[in-house]
Amino acid sequence: MSEKSENNRLTVFKTYKLYVGGKFPRSESGRVYEVTDSKGNWLANAPQASRKDARDAVVAARKAFGAWSGATAYNRGQILYRIAEMLEGRRDQFVREVADAEGLSKSKAGAVVDATIDRWVWYAGWTDKIAQVVGGGNPVAGPYFNLSTPEPTGVVAVVAPQDSSFLGLVSVVAPVIATGNTAVVIASEKAPLPALSLGEVLATSDLPGGVVNVLSGRTAEIAPPLAAHQDVNAIDLAGADDVLAKELEIAAADNLKRVLRPQPVDYTETPGIDRMTAFLETKTVWHPTGALGASGSSY
């Protein structure tokens, strides 16, 4: 191909789409909104999800919950690590998108993407270790065992951070799914592109469809129906401002959702296990050791 014809090539723009149930639909409403970089230059049109898209995403997340929470922790770890591998291969694209979205230099954006990939690896390691840390055998005075194990809460709605469009996003999504929850994520309103591209990575990382669902649009429009949804078990308010967070918390009280309130977080630091334990429930079982023989034990 001659150089001239390459220069004349028409630009192929990317159509950003939602990621719901392992598929890439447009918004049911047909709406899009303009996404600009930090200087106000147009980048792309992102789908503007409606409450019906949110409802569909919850259905997908609920459907995926059984298999994902039932998968072995080891398997979940493998898949989370696979996400890191896939991200590594598309590093350049994410560096560009993060640089545009957050107004960072190439090298700073590169550092953010590297930190994000490492975050997946970090949580991949935690999947089969969290149970030993927050669960265990309880001492009892009798012929039985008493065991506590952490269990995933269910479908978690995640309002992703508004400013940290990629590292922040992964820092709130990874802990939710690492422990077996499924997630409906509302991407950063003004910088949704890295989140929507992440959907493409998740779709090719052996992550079952529906475990993570990514919506973009007006946070104040999509979040309230999710907070009030009777089939959502928990909500992470990381990206909600004070007024919205209060409204969402009130709506969430109706079916006793677990609520993680927004708090100041430095996403570049090692996260700790708080975000994982926020969406775990502890199940305690009593297990008889068997009938006692004359010698005091059946063993």
Partner 1 sequence: MPTTAHTLTDAAASDSTLRRFLHGLPGVDAVGLEARAASLGTRSIKTTAKAYAIDLAISMVDLTTLEGADTPGKVRALGAKAVHPDPTDRTAPATAAVCVYPDMVATAKQAVAGSTVKVASVATAFPAGRAPLSVKLADVREAVAAGADEIDMVIDRGAFLAGQYMKVYDEIVAVKEACGTSARLKVIFETGELSTYDNIRRASWLGMLAGADFIKTSTGKVAVNATPANTLLMLEAVRDFRAQTGIQVGVKPAGGIRTSKDAIKFLVLVNETVGEDWLDNHWFRFGASSLLNDLLMQRQKLATGRYSGPDYVTVD
List residues near partner 1 by CB under 8 A. 55, 58, 62, 225, 228-232, 254
List of E strands, the chain: 32-36, 42-47, 136-137, 144-152, 155-159, 182-186, 212-215, 234-236, 258-260, 280-288
Nearer to partner 1, 23 or 63 (CB): 63
Q: Is 210 left (phi over 0), alpha (psi -120 to 50) or beta?
A: left
Give the shortest CB-211-to-partner 1 separation in angstroms. 18
Give the shortest CB-255-to-partner 1 separation in angstroms. 8
Q: CA geometry: angle at 249 spanning 239 and 166, to 5°? A: 15
Give the shortest CB-235-to-partner 1 separation in angstroms. 14
Q: CA geometry: angle at 250 spanning 248 and 253, to 5°? A: 105
Euclidean distance between CA atoms 244 and 169, whole angstroms: 18
Dihedral of CA atoms 83, 13, 220, 267 in degrees, nearest 10, equals 40
Let me know if 249 is exposed, middle or buried by CB neighbors in 10 A (0-12, 13-18, 19+).
Answer: middle
Nearer to partner 1, 119 or 229 (CB): 229
Residue pair 231/58 in contact by the 8 Å Cβ criterion: yes
Nearer to partner 1, 202 or 232 (CB): 232
Return phi, psi of residue 35, to 5°.
-110, 130
Nearer to partner 1, 59 or 121 (CB): 59
Give the shortest CB-66-to-partner 1 separation in angstroms. 12
Helix residue ranges, H only, 127-192: 130-134, 167-178
Nearer to partner 1, 194 or 217 (CB): 217
Give the shortest CB-159-to-partner 1 separation in angstroms. 17
Residue pair 124/172 in contact by the 8 Å Cβ criterion: no
Give the shortest CB-46-to-partner 1 separation in angstroms. 24
Nearer to partner 1, 166 or 279 (CB): 279
Nearer to partner 1, 62 or 258 (CB): 62
Give the shortest CB-261-to-partner 1 separation in angstroms. 21
Q: Give Cα 280 to chain centroid, integer Å.
A: 14
